[in-house]
Structures are given as structure tokens and as C-alpha cells.
Structure 1
Amino acid sequence: MPTNNEFTELFKGRPLMAILRGMGEAKSLAVAEQAWNLGIGLVEIPIQTEEDLRALRAVAATGKSRGLLVGAGTVVSLGHVEQALAAGAAFTVSPGLDLAVVAASTDAGMPTLPGVATASEVQLALSAGLTWMKAFPASLLGAGWFKAMAGPFPQARFVATGGMDSTNASQFLESGVSVVAVGSALGDPAQLPELAKIMKQ
């Protein structure tokens, strides 16, 4: 049975994860460095185009040289799992829950973070051995969703993704979210000081 307990250690002391979507190789490298310098140790690069894969290869190689892990996001097929592995990804992230993708990623040595948005999906993920999940789209689910899920599923650990920035990250963390994934907020100089404060809490 696949598990993704590795995320417990990977996310330890790291309340934020960076998502670098569609930025291209050069900007992805620059923003990844910015995230790492803020103390955000985990970076995800969604792979939807060849340019995304080039960015993943470059950022993963740079991260490895710093002892930091980079994952592939928007992994929705077995082909994506193969591409992520070839590009040097250390983990995968999906917008939904596909047990075939979970199995393939786990078999390839990459722990995977499946997306969930309902109690049924959370229960299925847990029954498949997965304790860490990506709650997506978190801003639409709302902070109250996480408090509701904590009742029947206290063992579930969530990474809130979608619409997250410095203005709402703390609210979601206080609602029981383990990690908040931020994307465009990293490109906003006004938000960087606030994100830094969250990292130090």
C-alpha cells in the first residue's frame, strides 16, 4: 500500500510551500531562489508544457545543489509521472485523487500529494494509505472546511492550495491546515515581508 508519510518530515517547521506556475526557466530559478532565501524549503513546479519541464529540470538541479527538494505539480497521468522523474522531481502533486498516479509515483520513489475537495475523497485517500493531501481549491473551500474535516478525519494533514497569499495564509494555518502553498504572492514585493513573518511564527 502506498504511503506519503515522508511529507511529515519534509514539511516539518515549514508552514509554506512555493508553487511556480508557468514562469519559464529563468524566472522560475529567480523566484525559487527568493523562496529559498525566505526559508520556504519546498518548491513545486506544475508541468503542463515543455517549458515547464525545462524549468523543473533547472530548478531541481539548483535545489539539489543546495540540499533542497523540488517537486512536480499538476501530475495527472502516468506520462506526467515519468516526465517528473526524468526531470529530477523529488515528489509529485496532483489537483485530484487518481490512485493509478499515486501508485506510479510511489513506485518511482516520489511521494505524492493528491488533491481532495470532499469528505469522500479524503476518506478514499486515507484508506489508500495517504495521510497528506492537497486541499484544492482552498480559497473556495474556505477555512471552515478544514475544521469540519478534522472531526471525522483527525489523522489527515492538509496543504491548502489555490488562492493563498499573505492575507489569508495565517487564517488557514490557524484553522488546522499544516501547510499553505503560495504562488503569485511570491512575485509581489509587498507580500514578501508578511510571508517572511509567517515563516518565523
Structure 2
Amino acid sequence: MFADIDTLIQGQPVMAILRNMEAKRAVELASKAWDLGIDLVEVPIQTADAVPSLEAVIKAGAERGKPVGAGTVVSAEQVQQSLDLGAAFTVAPGLDEEIVGLCRSAGIPHLPGISTPSEIQAAVRLGCTVVKAFPASVLGTEWFKAMQGPFPGVSLVATGGIDASNAASFLQAGARTVAVGSALADDRQLDLIAHILAARRKPGNDGPGHDQ
């Protein structure tokens, strides 16, 4: 298991989110992501019927040595469920001190969601220096650029409304990782994502959003 989110996203400019998919389809798209070079996959479990999909993708990921996370984790029960299923990390839409503490006590990396400077500051006080900026498309690329000034030690994972058409812009604006969902089902977008991955992983890439 990874020690923290910072280690988990090291060298990972793109993360896949497989939301509202039945198990077979989720495994198919997870495999597409892994084949493309996207090692990080998240399966949200906002409803009970999503749990079988998370379980199936975790099993498929274990066979390939890929970490799979549980998303939309907003309760103690979901934290325990994620642990029981063998999730490598958890993700939340917002910042919840209880969830942060439970995950830390359990030794599972947690990625909390934020959308304001105050929430970033609160996350840092809780020991979270990697946060999910959500919804990224609403916040906009200028917001990501602006946050680098007061929070140079915080890494942002851009989530919400990200696809192949704007992923590179968010990375250039300062996001360390971008999370894509429906783009994985579109072969044309997959080609663009492949180019983004290749560009971000070139040696000596020291632009905004590079791994620190």
C-alpha cells in the first residue's frame, strides 16, 4: 500500500474516474486506462450498487499491479468498506476532518476535495498537501494559476469537467494531475490523452504542474 497521496500520484499526470458503470464496463475501461499508461483508477461508491464495480476493478488491478481507489467516500462506513475491499486510496468530494482522520488511522491515503483558498488552508492544517480541486471546469484554469501563489507546497488534482480538450490546459495552469472520466470511452479522446501523457512524462519537463 502507498504511504501517502503524494507518492501515489508521483509521475501520474492523468487519473481515470469510472463513475456509474456496471462492473464489466468498469473493468473494460480500467483496462483501457492501464493499457494507455494511466496507472491511477478511481471507482466512486456514492451508492451501494456501485460497490460491485469497485470490487471488480480492484481485482482486475491486483492482477496487473495497479492501484485502484474508492471515490465519493463521505462516511466512516465507506472508509471501512474501502479498506475491506482492498482499495489503495480514497477520494472525497469535500474536506471532512473525520474522514481524513479515519483514513490516516487506517493507513490508507486520502484525497479530499476543495474549491476555495479557505478549504485548502484547512486541508493543510489537517496534514493534506495534495487536494482534489472540484469542480475544476467551474473553477477554471486561472484559479489554478492563482492558487500557486499562496499555496506553493500544495499539489492540486483537477477533477470535474476534464476531458482531452482541456486536460493539457489544466496541467499547464498548475494542476499536478487531471482526472478524466467519459473521455476513456471515446477513441478520439484517447489519442489526445496519450499525447498528453507522453508530453508530461518527457525528461526535463519543468513546466507548471510537473511533479515536485
| Same fold? TM cut 0.5 | yes
Alignment match, 2:156:
158
Q: Which letter maps to 1:75? A: V
Alignment match, 1:124:
122
Deviation digits for residues 17-70 of structure 1, max 9, x if unmatched?
000001110000000000000000000000022331111111111111211100
**TM (normalized to structure 2)?**
0.91
Alignment match, 1:11:
9
* Contact in 2 for aligned 1:19/1:45 (Cα 8 Å): yes
* Contact in 2 for aligned 1:166/1:191 (Cα 8 Å): yes
Q: How does 1:156-195 map to 2 (within 5 A)?
A: 156-195=154-193
Tell me how far 1:91 sits from its aligned partner.
0.4
Alignment match, 2:207:
none
Tell me how far 1:5 sits from its aligned partner.
7.0
Q: Which letter maps to 1:12? A: Q
Deviation digits for residues 64-110 of structure 1, max 9, x if unmatched?
12111000000111111111111221100000000100111121221
Larger deviation: 96-105 or 59-68?
59-68
Alignment match, 1:49:
47
**2:24 equivalent among 14, 26, 34:** 26
- C-alpha distance in structure 2 between counterparts of 1:118 and 1:69, whole Å: 29
* Contact in 2 for aligned 1:31/1:187 (Cα 8 Å): yes
Give the match's secondary structure for 1:190. helix
**TM (normalized to structure 1)?**
0.95
Tell me how far 1:156 sits from its aligned partner.
0.6
Tell me how far 1:113 sits from its aligned partner.
0.3
- C-alpha distance in structure 1 between counterparts of 2:112 and 2:48, whole Å: 23
Which structure ranks higher in relative contact order (CA pairs < 8 Å, sequence separation ≥ 6)?
A: 1
Give the match's secondary structure for 1:133. strand
* Contact in 2 for aligned 1:56/1:88 (Cα 8 Å): no
Identity of aligned residues (%): 52
**1:76 equivalent among 74, 77, 86:** 74
Give the match's secondary structure for 2:131. strand
Give the match's secondary structure for 2:175. coil
Alignment match, 2:83:
85
* Contact in 1 for aligned 2:158/2:178 (Cα 8 Å): yes
Larger deviation: 54-63 or 24-33?
54-63
Structure 2 residues without counterparts, runs of 5 or longer: 200-212
- C-alpha distance in structure 2 between counterparts of 1:57 and 1:137, whole Å: 26
- C-alpha distance in structure 1 between counterparts of 2:31 and 2:9, whole Å: 18
Give the number of aligned pairs: 198
Structure 1 residues without counterparts, runs of 5 or longer: none
Deviation digits for residues 151-181 of structure 1, max 9, x if unmatched?
1110010000000000000000000100000
Q: Over aligned residues, Cα RMSD in angstroms?
A: 1.2
Q: Which letter maps to 1:103? A: G
